[in-house]
Structure 1
Amino acid sequence: MNTVGIVTGGGRGMGYACAQRVAGLVDELLLVDRDAATANAARDVLAAENPGVTVESVALDITDAQGLAHLAERIGELGELRAVAHAAGISPSMGDWRDIFTVDLIGTALLAQALRPLAVSGTATVCFASMAPLLDPTPPDPAALAILDDPLDPRFLDRLREVLGPVVEKPGVAYGWAKRGVHRFVEQEAVRLGPSGARICSVSPGMIDTPQGRQEAAEQPSIAALIERTPLGRTGIADEVADVVAFALSDRASFLNGTDLLVDGGVMAAVRVAGRSTK
């Protein structure tokens, strides 16, 4: 049976870099992006670079439950689900707090819900999270965490706003909480998928030089400070994150499950060391 791979947000940036690697793991590659033109252009390049792989582009908003159901149907037609790199998401400058939660966390849960029935032994998924929640030294409110663990609750956003208050409407705060939700969702999903033999992890990039990353750096001076604190003394590149994703999706990582992979050049280590030295 043919093996199928999916990359969301696969038309550009880290998603495209992941698609280049997933193409080497499967027979059929579905390149998902909400921008049809971007997806089609990436499809054409990837198909030319990988003549033994069938590459399809899928114009889809990751928050579209009906569209995700059709995506799952298409996977079933093509073969067996082997690899999923879920890179689609938005950053703080790209939407308001509701948009950020809807795309980054609710969209992740909707995708997992659609693909769960297709999971078999050997299926591996990597969801993109972020180091953002790791930068917050404040212990999270347990009541907020309980709400965060149920992102498909119809009142999810309203309940979270009631507990966290108006501060959650700040895009940076919302982004950190949404990505914390991805970390926690992956842990829960690993338990759900366990009986099928499928695996799931998250990856948390640090300061990565992509168009989206540069946009955030231009609007948030704190990002420049984090780059300066990175022990390797530079930003990362999309290929470095994609290589970690490729390993996590490969059979060589067959016992890697339910955890987060921090790819940050050591900046979180520097933050933690500095924090210990001030105590």
Structure 2
Amino acid sequence: MTTVGIVTGAGRGMGLECARRLVGTVDRLLMVDLDENAVTEAAEELSTHGTVAEPHVLDVTHRDGLTRLAARARELGALRAVAHAAGISPTMADWRRILTVDLVGTALLAETLRPLATEGTAMVCFASMAALFGDTAPRPAVEAALADPLAEDFLARIREAVGPGIEDPGTAYSWAKRGVQRFVQREAVRIGGAGARVCSVSPGIVATPQGRQEAEHHPSMKALVEQSALGREGRPEELAAVVAFLLSDEASFLTGVDILVDGGVRAGLAARS
């Protein structure tokens, strides 16, 4: 049977590198991005290397577009691998949009693709090192809100639970990515019976256009890099290599976990505390 892979945010950066790593491991690759030119060019490039790549221009927060994507995957064959790299960072939007794209969009994609999950299906969702910073104390009201990102009143509930501080885009981003980590744990249980897996990765500071934009607005990121164990930024292909492993059969007993890929930022901070 034809095997199908899906990569979101596939037009550039870490998403594009994930797509490159899936070439040769699936027969058909559905590449998703909002940037039509970027994803079309990327699909044309990758289709010359043995896997047929299709560009799909859609917003991961739109149910109709996701429904069409799932229908196309089902039409083509068996869903084998999903790398969900699409997302936005603090300088790109307000708190509502950040939570909607980064967390609600993740939940919508997973919900839409869930009926396609079968033995050997694997999904990796991008969280962030940012989820490990800030207020990490147990907060039942926050956890309850994060547990149901598809609730109609999700934004109101998380705003009430966290307080006005969540209107800071950086704070919203941290909570959104923490929500992705929590979501993956619950999703692993939902799809495990079908023999399918899902994990998340939490990148540290990676040399991408989006990462550079954040660094320009947050000088503290340079200090984190300097204090990290490796003392450098990550490269997109390094994140993609971890994602490729998690999507492979070699990771067949890994599910419901988050993999921190930060070059030793947390280790460096711990050593200095």
Q: Judge same fold: TM > 0.5, yes or no.
A: yes
Q: Give the TM-score normalised by structure 1.
A: 0.96
State how 1:122-201 maps to structure 2 within 5 Å: 122-136=120-134, 138-201=136-199
Confirm or deny that 1:102 pairs with 2:100.
yes
Displacement of 1:136 after TM fit?
2.1
Displacement of 1:140 after TM fit?
4.1
State how 1:25-104 maps to structure 2 within 5 Å: 25-48=25-48, 50=49, 52-104=50-102
Distance 1:120 1:34 in 2: 28
Aligned to 1:208: 206
Deviation digits for residues 217-269 of structure 1 (CA, Å, limit 9, x no counterpart): 00011111111111111111000000000000001111111101111111111
Distance 1:147 1:244 in 2: 30
Number of aligned pairs? 273
Aligned to 2:234: 236
Distance 2:4 2:192 in 1: 20
Confirm or deny that 1:251 pairs with 2:254.
no
Aligned to 1:17: 17
Deviation digits for residues 9-60 of structure 1 (CA, Å, limit 9, x no counterpart): 0010000000001122100000000111111011111112x1x211100001
Displacement of 1:271 after TM fit?
1.8
For 2:177, give the aligned amino acid. K
Local SS of the residue matching 1:88: coil
Displacement of 1:158 after TM fit?
0.6
Distance 1:173 1:221 in 2: 17
Distance 1:26 1:228 in 2: 38
Percent identical pairs in the alignment equals 60
Local SS of the residue matching 1:196: coil
Local SS of the residue matching 1:203: strand
Distance 1:194 1:200 in 2: 9
Indicate conservation of the 8 Å contact 1:132/1:175, yes or no.
yes
RMSD over aligned Cα, in angstroms?
Answer: 0.9
Displacement of 1:272 after TM fit?
2.5
Indicate conservation of the 8 Å contact 1:135/1:268, yes or no.
no
Displacement of 1:274 after TM fit?
2.7
Distance 1:81 1:136 in 2: 37
Q: Give the TM-score normalised by structure 2.
A: 0.98
Local SS of the residue matching 1:227: helix
Displacement of 1:174 after TM fit?
0.1
Distance 2:238 2:62 in 1: 30
Distance 1:186 1:122 in 2: 17
For 1:163, give the aligned amino acid. A
Distance 1:137 1:178 in 2: 13
Q: Following superposition, which runs of at least 4 residues in structure 1 exceed 3 angstroms of deviation?
A: none
Distance 1:129 1:66 in 2: 24
Local SS of the residue matching 2:232: coil
Distance 2:260 2:109 in 1: 22
Distance 1:207 1:18 in 2: 17
Gaps of 5+ in 1: none
Gaps of 5+ in 2: none
Displacement of 1:137 after TM fit?
5.1
For 2:164, give the aligned amino acid. P
Deviation digits for residues 119-149 of structure 1 (CA, Å, limit 9, x no counterpart): 0000000000001021225414221111111
Indicate conservation of the 8 Å contact 2:228/2:269, yes or no.
no
Indicate conservation of the 8 Å contact 2:117/2:196, yes or no.
yes
Indicate conservation of the 8 Å contact 1:5/1:23, yes or no.
no
